[in-house]
Structure 1
Amino acid sequence: MNCPDCGDERTRVVDTETSADGTSIRRRRECQRCSFRFTTYERPEWDSLQVKKRDGTIDPFDRAKLRAGIERAVEKRDVAETTVTSLVDDVESALQDRETRIVSSSLIGELVSERLRDVDKVAYIRFVSVYKAFSEPEEFLRELDAVLDAEVDDFEAPTDSQ
């Protein structure tokens, strides 16, 4: 640990204390060169959400990356910035509520696509085409047909019985 005052790397731990909830460790350190004292905190990296990608690698959850993907899908659509923020908050909250700290990228894609479908159908198609890695025009058509069929079902009124 380098001293924040003089930059020297020779520091020593003066005091160590565990947080009340046991999730982090507070350390008081002192620079052996300039005697400057400072505090550091340690907490396990696994305390935060981790994302397991399709190739098996695990990366920290990145809210900005999630937001960027959603913004690309809603680009040039009539979707308010507050709606995007709400969608990101909702997905992140759903992930935080899970019992595991490691979530699959496909789960994130499913959560986003479910919510985007209700927000904007075109943005939904854009998002799932990337998330599901469409490579053939028929895949677009199948997804578009599913969206249109659901829309027709939503608009059909029940028959009146007299």
Structure 2
Amino acid sequence: MKCPFCSASETTVLDTRINEDGDIVRRRRRCLACDKRFTTYERAEIRLPQVVKKNGSRVDYSRDKLAASLWLSLRKRPVTTEAVDAAIARIEEKLLALGERELPSEKIGEMVMRELKKLDKVAYVRFASVYRNFEDVDEFSELIREVSGPRA
């Protein structure tokens, strides 16, 4: 850590404390060159990728947009807020695990469809019908058959 007073690179840590939430580390440091003291703070930087839309434009990832699209599909369906929050968390974990700086919107849409399929099949069909932009009834019927599974 460089000293903010003299720019020397040799400093020593005098004290380390973690805040109440456990997400920020505060360190008191002393410069070995000029003997001045200063405080630094450390926190995890979590960067979700930018979303590349179908038209090529790029937008920042938005948890609110993701939640809104899930809730729109789940409208009047018996799914708890906790289940939706868990689905969003799983999607975000997958996005972070990919380690990409940019991600096509189609990839996120596929993740949403997988989560909706687990949560509620009607919501899955609602989302898929808009997301996949079906051209005819046969495509829609195929999706219904896929969700319904084999008939006995």
TM-score normalized with structure 1 length: 0.62
CA distance, structure 1, for counterparts of residue 104 and residue 86 of structure 2: 21
Structure 2 unaligned blocks of 5 or more:
8-46
Structure-1 separation of matches of 2:84 and 2:92: 12
> Whole-Å Cα distance in 1 between the matches of residues 54 and 68 of structure 2?
19
Conserved? CA contact 2:48–2:95, under 8 Å: no
| Cα distance in 2 between the residues matched to 1:98 and 1:146 | 28
Distance of 1:138 and 1:76 partners within structure 2? 26
Native 8 Å contact 2:52 2:59 kept in 1: yes
Cα RMSD for the two superposed structures: 2.0
SS at structure 2 position matched to 1:51: strand
Matches within 5 A, 1:1-162: 47-149=47-149
CA distance in structure 2 between the partners assigned to 1:134 and 1:83 by the alignment: 28
Q: SS of the residue aligned with 1:103?
A: strand
Secondary structure of the 1:97 match is helix
Ranges of 4+ aligned residues in structure 1 off by more than 6 Å: none
The letter of the residue matching 2:145 is D
8 A Cα contact 2:77 2:123, kept in partner: yes
User: Secondary structure of 2:98's partner?
Assistant: coil
Shift of the alpha carbon at 1:135?
A: 3.3
The Cα offsets for residues 92-133 of structure 1, whole Å up to 9 and x where unpaired, read as 111011121111111001111111111110010011111111
Letter in 2 for 1:78: P
Q: TM-score, normalised by structure 2?
A: 0.66
Does structure 1 conserve the Cα–Cα contact (< 8 Å) formed by 2:125 and 2:144?
yes
Aligned length: 109
CA distance in 1, matches of 2:133, 2:66: 17
Q: Distance between the aligned counterparts of 1:100 and 1:78, measured in 2?
A: 34
Q: Percent identity?
A: 32
Distance in 2 between residues matched to 1:129 and 1:72, nearest whole Å: 13
Read off the aligned partner of 1:123 and give its amino acid letter. A
Deviation of 1:48 (Å): 4.1
Q: Aligned partner of 1:144: which letter?
A: I
